[in-house]
Amino acid sequence: SFSSCTKDIGKSPQLNNGEEIPGCDTVTYAYNANVKSIILNNCSGCHFAGSPDGTLTDYPHLQAKALEGSLMKSLKGKQGYALMPPTGRLSDCDVKGIENWVQAGANNN
């Protein structure tokens, strides 16, 4: 489970303001089942192997960006980071699912 503690088990995912994300199950987000395709579909145009913008299309590079914090800062457009992808923010569900995956250790699962 991607939950950080047992009190979160069975709860619907929530936004930072505490609102639930309808129809979103971010607890089951895994690299191979979810994260990989989201990154390939939304990031590979700029972040391909050997790209000057940095590679995100293979697991080791993505994991490094996830664990150092820059992946989530970019997906959320935090101060000092451009909101990614530039074509439009990912859904709240996908952002929260990726965040849960990162918080669980960004495993190759």
What are the pLDDT digits (tens) for 22-55? 778 877 889 999 999 999 999 999 999 998 888 9
For 30-99, the DSSP string reads -IIIIIHHHHHHHHTTTS-TT-TT---SSHHHHHHHHHHTHHHHHHHT-TTS--SSTT-PPPHHHHHHHH
What are the pLDDT digits (tens) for 67-107? 999 999 999 999 999 999 999 999 999 999 999 999 999 99
Whether 52 and 44 have beta carbons less than 8 Å apart is answered as no
| pTM of this structure | 0.78
